[in-house]
Structure 1
């Protein structure tokens, strides 16, 4: 389905709701998850500029694994300046920074299959394992707190010297500055969550309790907070009507299909799915050698065959992947990555390739 077709769903939904809707969707495709980022702000402002000034209510659909929490704050602040009532619509997933964005809405309309998530920020530091391979370390402030709690309560370490030694090992593994960054990031997330809730909640205590639950009550950053659980922690959750539910799910399904959300991104798969490159790569000589052919002779025959095929020359293809969209009934923006892949057959018939991704940023589309 193209934007022109999806626009019909936006119009149908807006007719039912008697208000316009803006959608912000970032790729949640495995191996191609894209963060919410500040470059989206100007496009959202552009769409707001198309909305008639007498319109005072807005629906904002978000589908994302998260990203920059400051972007969430800026989006809600912009919407608050222009509209009196904000509903955030979650048809599928709104994790991390996307959850923080939802906290700034007067109410959150959740599809029964949708989820919010914890808002404890995750940090990543580059590590190298014992055999020299890259092995990134992902952790949060809660991981550090639970490590200390494990030492004291589960292991029963009370001696300060032993605790100091254990903390020294932690610092050596993670680094002193990243530990400080983890704590600061957690404080920022908690502060932003409270601030977002306080834009529409008069009860400061309730805002603080909800923010604290989302920040530290779950044991995994990927925990899926269901609609029922979101209600239980105090969020103002709106249940869509059957017609609303059907439309927002159809919108999500269309985005999912366009962004290939259920298909893991893999460069080799993309290469082999291209008809031209697949034809060239499949056209290789097949050597039916006797089973008792000496290995050195077999290898030489393979090398000779490879040197005689044109596939060994380097060839390039280009393809696009959709990273994010911002849309309304008025206009649509998209961000794509163009990926140039050079591929070749090595002398031993293995496939070699490298890639160069590049993007022109946000573009208006028809």
Structure 2
């Protein structure tokens, strides 16, 4: 961790009166890090290092990932604190939004964004991509839901007609693909409810919990819909805290250090960072607390022909790596 980022993190901890863990998953073109099970042991080491604390903040930037990892991470965090908050400088999409649902407060900058949590499933049973014979088209809940909504709006409501509509759907989408999508949909709803129950009383707020889950899984018409803090507070009724003044400035400044370090706003081209032998190394994710730092590292080599034209990019190693001393400063070198 650079001294500048360490100072910003320390100042933010003092301003918030909490301990903070930062989780940044790069979303660069051609290289990214998703919420996945391998973050759990990394987070555990940071949480053990911090020890049980009264309040803990997670500084979060991610475009999403594994649903069950989101639940597991929140459960793990609550083993070390009773008051868990999320800091959202910018993107906390999909599984990132699920993680936020488990927090008792969500501190959002004006640039902060959440997203729907509806499943978008791609499997071997999905329709084939007409532009790529080896690829499958994703199927989303919105697609299936909207398909049947259109038929009802056209007045097709009797049972026999609906059966024919369903059979036409099966001409394009295999039954197993629809089954997989529905199972994922039920899983996400269940996970979202479990996360909200962490800080909402089901005896008094069961309807609120159901409304939040229903909106996030079905009421938005695109998985790419972006939810700002005003909508998250007023429409979804989430426990949103508006950051402002010095707090907003510190949150954004800390985010900018990660944006610059990981080149979040730039596509990645391994040929530009490779050495003369074609070896390259790049960091595309960070989990940091004040005294510990881990990065997700890709190591690879460019395969070239006799004319020095790149034929292939081979990834030799990837995973989370503890950064100590000067190692971090070498993360873009072989």
8 Å CA contact retained: 2:65, 2:95: yes
Q: Greater CA radius of gyration, 1 or 2?
A: 1
In structure 2, what is the equivalent of residue 144 of structure 1? 144
2:149 equivalent to 1:191: no
2:233 equivalent to 1:231: yes
In structure 2, what is the equivalent of residue 121 of structure 1? 119
In structure 1, what is the equivalent of residue 288 of structure 2? 327
Shift of 1:164: 3.5
Q: Over residues 33-83 of structure 1, what are the superposed CA-to-partner deviations in whole Å (9 max), with x where a residue is unaligned?
A: 321011111111111111144x31111111101111111111111122221
Shift of 1:360: 4.3
Change (3 A) 1:80 1:274: closer
Q: How does 1:103-118 map to 2 (within 5 A)?
A: 103-118=101-116
In structure 1, what is the equivalent of residue 330 of structure 2? none
Q: TM-score, normalised by structure 1?
A: 0.81
In structure 2, what is the equivalent of residue 134 of structure 1? 134
Structure 2: unaligned runs, 5 residues or longer:
325-334
Distance 1:360 1:210 in 2: 37
Q: Over residues 20-43 of structure 1, what are the superposed CA-to-partner deviations in whole Å (9 max), with x where a residue is unaligned?
A: 100111111133232101111111
SS at match of 2:86: strand
8 Å CA contact retained: 1:67, 1:97: yes
Distance 1:165 1:63 in 2: 45
2:251 equivalent to 1:248: yes
In structure 1, what is the equivalent of residue 167 of structure 2? 168
Distance 2:7 2:131 in 1: 55
In structure 1, what is the equivalent of residue 212 of structure 2? 210
Shift of 1:247: 1.3
Shift of 1:270: 3.3
8 Å CA contact retained: 2:109, 2:244: no
RMSD over equivalenced CA pairs, Å: 2.2
2:3 equivalent to 1:8: no
2:329 equivalent to 1:339: no
Q: Over residues 95-114 of structure 1, what are the superposed CA-to-partner deviations in whole Å (9 max), with x where a residue is unaligned?
A: 01110100111100001111
In structure 2, what is the equivalent of residue 362 of structure 1? 320
Q: Over residues 245-302 of structure 1, what are the superposed CA-to-partner deviations in whole Å (9 max), with x where a residue is unaligned?
A: 111111211212222221123xxx432x35876xxxxxxxxxxxxxxxxxxxxxxxxx
Q: TM-score, normalised by structure 2?
A: 0.88
Distance 1:135 1:169 in 2: 22
Distance 1:9 1:359 in 2: 32
SS at match of 1:357: strand
Shift of 1:326: 0.8
SS at match of 1:105: coil
Shift of 1:125: 3.4
Shift of 1:19: 1.4
Distance 1:353 1:38 in 2: 32
Choose which of 230, 239, 260 in structure 2 pairs with 1:257: 260
Structure 1: unaligned runs, 5 residues or longer:
278-315
Change (3 A) 1:158 1:94: same
- The number of equivalent residue pairs is 318
In structure 1, what is the equivalent of residue 270 of structure 2? 270
